[in-house]
Copies of this chain bind each other. A is one copy, B any other.
Amino acid sequence: MNTGQTWTVGVTGATGYAGGEVVRLLAGHPHLRLAGVHANSSAGRRLGELQPHLLPFADLEVRPSAPADLAGYDVVVLALPHGESAAIAAQLPEDTLVIDCGADHRLEDPAAWARWYGGEHSGSWPYGLPELAGQREKLAGARRIAVPGCYPTSVTLAMAPALAAGLVEPDVVVVAASGTSGAGKAAKPHLLGSEVMGSVSAYGVGGVHRHTPEMAQTLGAAAGQPVRISFTPTLVPMSRGILATCSAPLRPGTDAGAARAAYAEAYGDEPFVHLLPEGQWPTTAQVLGANTVAVQVAVDPDAGRLVVVAAVDNLTKGTAGGAVQSANIALGLPETAGLPLVGVAP
C-alpha cells in the first residue's frame, strides 16, 4: 500500500446532490484530489453558484461532460442519470478507475434490467458494497465500480446477516423513510419545501420502485436463494437520511440471542457498520454526513417476525461515501481514508 500517492479525480454531475457530496468528501481526503468538475447543462458556470456549500471550490469552472472532457484523470466519478455512463466509460482508458453512482451497472441480470429500466443492458460492474461477503476481493484492484442505490445499501445491510444465517424466511417487507435529497435536485412541484415540510407521503407503492430488483439481487445472494421483497418508500421532511424498517418471518429456533449474535458477527469488524447496544435504536441524525450505518435488531414473537432497522445518510454511505469507500479499496488505500466516522448532530 502506497498511501503517499495522490490520485486526481474528475467528478461529472458535480452540480447535483450526489456529485456535490463526492466533492465534499474529496475536500477531506488525504489521497484523492479533486481535479475537475463537470456537468451538462451548467458548463461554464462557477461551481459556487450551483453548490454554495462547496466554498473552497467555489471558483472552479464547471466543464462539459463529454468523454473527451473526462480524459486524463486517475479516477472519474459519474453522478449522472442512468443510461449515460456506459457510453462514457467505453471511451475512458481501462486503467482509469470509473465509479458509476448511477444504476447502469448494478443489476447482473439483463432481464431484470430490461424489465425495470428498459433498453439494452450495459453489463454489470463490481458492486460497491464492501460489507457483502466476498465483495472486498472483487473491488480490490477494480477499475469499474457500480455504486449501490441508497435504499439497497440500507436494506441490504439490514437484512443480509439474517438471511445469510437462515434466521428468517426469504420474504422481506421493507418500509423506508427517505429525506428529499434522494429525489435529486431537479425542481418538481411535489418536492418544494412548502410541500414536503410537515408532511410524510408514500410513493412508488406496490412493488414498482426500481431499487426493488437490486435488493432482490443482493439479498438473494446473501440468502443463497430467491428473496421476495415488498418495498415501500416514503418521503419525510428532512434533506438527508434513510431509515429502513425491515422484517421477515422468523424461522423456527430463531430467538433474540441468535439474532443478535448473527449481527454481531457480521459487523463486529466492520469499520462503518455499528450494531447498536441493546435497547438503542437507529436515528438518521446519528449518521448524517458520515459514512456510517446504525443497525439494530429485535425479535417479535407475537408477530413471528424479525425486525431490523438501519439508518444511513443516503448521500454519504448511500452514495458518495460508498463510492469513496470502494475507491479506497480499489486503489489499495486504507478503506476509511477521507470518510467521516461521526455524524453531524444534533
Contact = CB atoms under 8 A, between A and B. Distances in A.
Interface of A: 17, 20, 23-24, 27-28, 46, 48-49, 51-56, 58, 173, 175, 177, 179-181, 183, 185, 187-189, 191-203, 205-207, 212, 228-232, 234, 236-241, 243, 245, 247, 274, 276-277, 280-290, 292, 294, 296, 298-305, 307, 309, 311, 340-346
Given A193-B191, A294-B55, A198 B304 contact: no
A206 B299 CA distance: 6
Interface centre among A51, A54, A201 (most CB of B within 10 A): A201
A188 B195 CA distance: 13
14 contacts: A17-B346, A20-B346, A53-B288, A53-B344, A55-B343, A193-B197, A197-B238, A198-B239, A198-B285, A201-B281, A201-B285, A230-B303, A232-B307, A237-B237
Given A55-B342, A193-B191, A200-B177, A280 B48 contact: yes
User: Taking the full assembly, how many copies of this chain does it contain?
Assistant: 4
B300 A206 contact: yes
Contacts of A205: 245, 281, 296, 298, 307, 309
Contact of A27 (B288, B341, B346): B341
A303 to B, nearest CB: 4
A199 B46 CA distance: 22
Contacts of A181: 194, 346
Contacts of A298: 205-207
Leading 4 A-B pairs by shortest Cβ distance: A206-B298, A199-B285, A207-B300, A175-B175
